[in-house]
Amino acid sequence: MKNNRQKLSVSDYVDGVLDCNRAILAQAITLIESLNEHHRTMADAVLNELLAHNQDSIRIGITGVPGVGKSTFIEKFGKQLTSLNHKVAVLAVDPTSSRSGGSILGDKTRMQELSRDKNAFIRPSPTAGTLGGVTRATRETIVLCEAAGFDVILVETVGVGQSEIMVSQMVDFFLALMLPGAGDELQGIKKGLLEIADMIAVNKADGETKDAARRAVMEYQQALNILNPMSLNWKPRSLSCSAYTGDGISTIWETILDYKKLLKDAGEWQAKRKKQQVEWMWAIVKNRIMSKIETNQNVQRLAPQLEWRVSEAKVTPALAAVKILTAIDSE
């Protein structure tokens, strides 16, 4: 098989991914992340061929406040799953600098043990400025990993904020990691995060913070009980764990499996996946419309002058937007 990415055919990509050839899987992900029009066309063809090969997987979104030990948790959780003969893919979204355009892409160094596991695959991807910190191709990467035989997909978000909403729209289960000391945190935590979380896991429930973690679990559960759950068949739960000792990790997995069974038996699981496919379609439409706007020659000519006039209050943003839309229509 050819080694050069540019020379691989659609069938080369498809066969390589289905064989779980890690080198080709990585190249296929790079292909779908490319903004090149030819690569984009090939990526669409590859994804269309692989869509039918997706298996009975579970997609788990994981977020956490700064310092919560998210990478340590994911590594411990991933190792727990591979010990149960699951194949785990970790899609860790790296923040891209708005100034330099660069990203750290350091997740493999933060999860060294898991990265050496033959049943795990870690793919850090730059957000490339995508709203909410979720890389543009995250949904498509999930399809590739599932077709390659990975039955548990972990999507790690960048920090806290809008990224949680976007990740929750592409996963089956959303897990929020929190630190002990809920009394202070509950005052500042976003209500929106509690509304979309299927589980709150208080990490670092060991040593001197074990009692604080136990109290935090109760306070988070009280907060969750007040809110209307996203699912008709699942009441969000609050648990404690220690990514350092491994305590509580197996309970989290067992709870997620309970969630999956409940939703599948009720038909909600399948309905949620179908809804996500439609949301994916519209997300692609919006991304490609923005891409066309950014590359439109008429817009490129008008933009600098309009930006200056808006900044100097010589024209309203609304009128400037109309001029840009008119320029697009004229081309």
Tokens found for residue 302: 């008008």
Residue ranges of the chain that CATH labels 3.40.50.300: 55-266
pLDDT at residue 22 tops 80: yes
- Taking residues 22-30, what's their average pLDDT? 94
CA dist 98 and 141 (Å) reads 23
Q: Which range (152-156, 157-161, 272-276, 284-288) has the least confidence? A: 157-161
Q: Where are the CATH 1.20.5 domain residues in the chain?
A: 1-53
pLDDT digits (tens, 9 = 90+) for 135-166: 568 889 999 999 999 999 999 886 556 667 78
Q: What's the pLDDT score for residue 100?
A: 37
Percent of the chain with pLDDT over 90: 53
Closest by Cα among 253, 264, 241, 262 to 82: 253
pLDDT given at position 131: 44
Amino acid 205: pLDDT: 92
Give, in words, the CATH class of 55-266: alpha beta
pLDDT score for 132: 41
Does residue 4 register a pLDDT over 50?
Answer: no
- pLDDT score of 12 more than 60: yes
In this predicted structure, what is the pLDDT of residue 7? 83
User: 101 falls in which pLDDT band (50, 70, 90)?
Assistant: very low
pLDDT of residue 165: 79
What mean pLDDT comes out for the span 276-289? Answer: 85
Mind listing the pLDDT tens digit for each residue in 198-216?
Answer: 999 999 999 889 999 999 8
- Phi (first) and psi of residue 2, to 5 degrees: -70, 150
**What angle, 0 to 180 degrees and rounded to 10, lies between the N-to-C axes of helices 138-147 and 10-18?**
60
- Whether 175 has a pLDDT exceeding 80, the answer reads yes
3-state SS track over 83-125: HCCCCEEEEEEECECCCCCCECCCHHHHCHHHHCCCCEEEEEE
Domain 1-53, what architecture? Up-down Bundle (1.20)
pLDDT value, residue 331: 66
Mean pLDDT computed over every residue of the chain: 85
Q: Decide which of 229 and 177 is more confident.
A: 177
DSSP bridge partners of 61: 155, 174
Average pLDDT in the 275-284 region?
87
